[in-house]
Structure 1
Amino acid sequence: MMIYNVKLCQIYLFFLVVLTFFSCKQSAKPDVSHIDLNVKIERFDRDLAQGKSAGLQQTDELLHKKYGAFYDDYMHRMVGNFEYSNTEILSTLYKDQAYYDLNKEADSVFSDMKPIEKELTQTFKYIRYYYPKTSLPRFVAFISGFAVQTPIGDNYMGIGLDMFLGKNSKFYRAIVESVPLYLSRRFRPEYIVPRTTETFAREELFKEQDEDRSLLSKMIYNGKILYFMDQVLPDGTPDSVKIGYTAKQLAWCKTFERDIWGYYLQNDLLFETDYQKIQVFLSEGPFTPGLGEKNESAPKLGIWTGWQIVRKYMQENKQVTLQQLMAEKDMQKILQQSKYKPKS
């Protein structure tokens, strides 16, 4: 009986420790339950499809009345241009079998948007916590024939559902010449919230300054954006999804972090301002030319390195708030005070 009680106590203590651990992990982010905010995603894609059964003029008027600035941008900047009238563009869409097929698949993959709305609600509650004056945009789902993914306009954020159908969608194999597979593999539903958050951060909250032209400046700017995403995205969002890497690419960066940093230093790249020389470390691609063997390196290594510098800076300077970090313009100060020196 005594042995049973001892074991029972041990089990109880074990679960108490586990509970305490996870409670600490969960409490790392602020409590935002008091913030009154609820994201709803409007289904322009469905409204547009349903309009086929009505007259073109009637559909045009109804969509313009309901969606305003988004509808204007959609018709003249996403799927059409100003040379054609709205009714002409609608007529072309409704006659296009590819549009019908694409719309059908998008409606099937995204039959229920509630899980995405829940994640966006939590993310924007965190954003509102840190930046109380932030206005919640209107979220509008649409398909554009792979023209745009997360456009942002006059009080709206678009979510191009056709660019989140899942990496194995038959459509992505058909457009590989214009959209390479290293990009379309990220066209998955789990990328909607991270990409929407990133676009909002870059375009609405923290626009890049024109004077930030050196590789270091661009590293730190992009690193700050990703660190901001760390703080506001739902817990459990993988780093690979935040930055758009495969698990193998992320592992490669961690394995060769010291070598990557050494490459910048040896080639005097940190303060280089010639965009032709530094863009290779900032742009999308299947890999970074010049680093790694057999094209195994990850792309946009400057962005990944900047992320690690900012994370280290915040670890070393715990008194710095997120708002202070995002407002800091002295990129050399962030580097120096980060004490960033990756080990092998």
Structure 2
Amino acid sequence: MIYNVKFGQSYLFFLLCGLLMFVSCKHDSKPDISNIHLDVKILRFDKELYAGKSKDINQTASILKKKYTNFYDDYIHRMVGNFEYTEQEVMETLYKDQAYTDLTYEVDSVFKTLGSVESELDLAFRYIRHYYPKAKIPNFISFVSGFAVQTPVGDNYMGIGLDMFLGDESKFYKAIVQSVPAYLSRRFSPEYIIPRVTETYAREELFPELDEDRTLISKMIHNGKILYFMDRILEESVPDSVKIGYTGNQVEWCKTFESDIWAFYLQNNLLFETDYQKIQVYLSEGPFTPGLGEKNESAPKLGIWTGWQIVRKYMTENKDVTLQQLMAEQDAQKILNGSKYKPK
């Protein structure tokens, strides 16, 4: 398979939060969305593409290109191929590759239908439409790319790479551990689809990060707002660990050492640091955060987790602030001060 292009994405995710954290994230009750109707559907490009294996390639390419337009072009030329190959060459390579056949078979066995995913997506995007009535709901398209990309966003579409949600015990993830480490692939399970899709939509379509947000605290707050937004649009049954991508032990570690984590930022003058080489370690994916914790037991991307707690505290302390006002607020210092965040 020709797997070249990687679309920008982030993996943020999962497990039960403690009572205090649970209460803090319930800024108010869920709004009434009974009058909002969307009927979200997912187009099964993965099934239609594979069905063309026994048909004329040119005819299949013509049908898929007409139906899927921009997604089809991105899939052929950016996800599984590149512009050095014709669409027919890319498709012929796919159809001849046993790995593509095997992977598609497993995807189909896990996702015979997507009815439950559609229902959960519909609910989440009804909440989004409640808070942002002008939000444009994309066309959702499922596909298989050989682990090239998980939730790409394109012109009027949002893709769902089903091969990256098969379940953490999938034999394929063990085979690609050198390119996709286990701390990432353990999150490739069906329960992560809705959190990942909504997170990517929030980051790419609603609240893109500003270029001027260069300090660690501004990046912490920005990421914290994204996670708080997810608090508000996802069902309360979705655990914090799924939203941010932690194990249960990592969630517990963060809660146990929350005051120590905060003291570390302060003692090392990190909050207003702008050197990306110095701060990216507190924002990036990894098995742990270097420099914190013993025996590499710390959680990764601790800056994002701390930003989430600051935003939650801010909304608890300022109950008159709406979700829209929070997401529009670009003054990270104002949110930090208003949160009165001083973990003990």
Aligned to 2:68: 67
Query: CA offsets per residue over residues 133-166 of structure 1, 9 Å max, x none?
Result: 0111000000000000000000000000000000
Q: Which residue of 2 aligns with 1:265?
A: 266
**C-alpha distance in 1, partners of 2:267/2:333?**
18
Alignment of 1:1-344 (within 5 A): 28-343=29-344
For residues 104-124 of structure 1, give each alpha carbon's deviation from its aligned partner in whole angstroms, at most 9, with x where no partner exists.
000100112111111100000
Q: What is the rounded CA distance, in whole Å, between the counterparts of 1:33 and 1:102 in structure 2?
A: 39
In structure 2, C-alpha distance between the alignment counterparts of 1:56 and 1:118, rounded to whole Å: 34
d(CA) in 2 for partners of 1:112, 1:293: 44
Q: Indicate the SS of the match to 2:140.
A: strand
CA–CA distance in 1 between the matches of 2:173 and 2:138? Answer: 29
- Tell me the secondary structure at the aligned position of residue 295 of structure 2: coil
Structure 1 residue 235: Cα displacement: 2.3
Deviates more, 1:111-120 or 1:144-153: 111-120
1:237 is matched by which residue type in structure 2? V
Which range is displaced more, 33-42 or 71-80? 33-42
Q: Which has the higher contact order (CA 8 A, sep 6+)?
A: 2
The CA distance in 1 between the partners of 2:185 and 2:157, in whole Å, is: 24
Once the two structures are TM-superposed, the CA of residue 195 in structure 1 deviates from its matched residue by 0.3
Write 1 or 2 for the structure with the bigger share of helix.
1
Aligned length: 319
Partner-residue secondary structure (3-state), 2:119: helix
Structure 2 counterpart SS, 1:115: helix
Q: Write out the 4+ residue segments of structure 1 that deviate beyond 4 Å after TM superposition.
A: none
TM-score normalised by structure 1 residue count: 0.92
Q: Distance in 1 between matches of 2:234 and 2:39?
A: 16
Taking the aligned partners of 2:58 and 2:330, their CA distance within structure 1 comes to 51
Deviations 1:182-215 (A, max 9, x none): 0000000000000000000000000000000000
Uncovered stretches (5+) of structure 2, i.e. residues with no partner = 1-25
Q: TM-score normalised to the size of structure 2? A: 0.92
Gaps of 5+ in 1: 1-24
Measure how far apart 1:38 and its partner are: 1.2
Identity rate, percent? 73
Give the deviation of 1:54 after TM superposition: 1.0
- Structure 1 CA distance for aligned equivalents of residues 322 and 29 of structure 2: 14
Superposition RMSD in Å: 1.0
Q: Which amino acid aligns with 2:73?
A: D
Q: How far off its partner does 1:33 sit?
A: 1.1
